[in-house]
Amino acid sequence: MMKPSHLERIDKLADVFMLASLVQFKYVQTISEPNDINFIVGLAGGYEVFGAPQDYDNFMDKYITWLEMRN
């Protein structure tokens, strides 16, 4: 289990999000719609990270903000 202080530091970073494992936005290729159980983030190289449905809106908000900053 990750220390709370690590999670706080991760949350402050603009280009990463903690789901079942750490997602670095620059490697995101697909994001599924959430269902009752989870949603899936597909990353470069075929790796998939699962997130809880209640994390979907926060994940998308942070990801879209990151995309907007890149333009």
pLDDT digits (tens, 9 = 90+) for 6-32: 999 999 999 999 999 999 999 999 999
pLDDT score of 1 more than 80: no
Domain residue spans of the chain:
15-57+66-70
Residue 7, Cβ neighbours under 10 Å: how many? 12
Tokens 């706080």 correspond to what residue? 8
The predicted model scores a pTM of 0.92
Residue 19, Cβ neighbours under 10 Å: how many? 17
CA distance 62 to 55: 11
Percentage of the chain with pLDDT > 90? 90
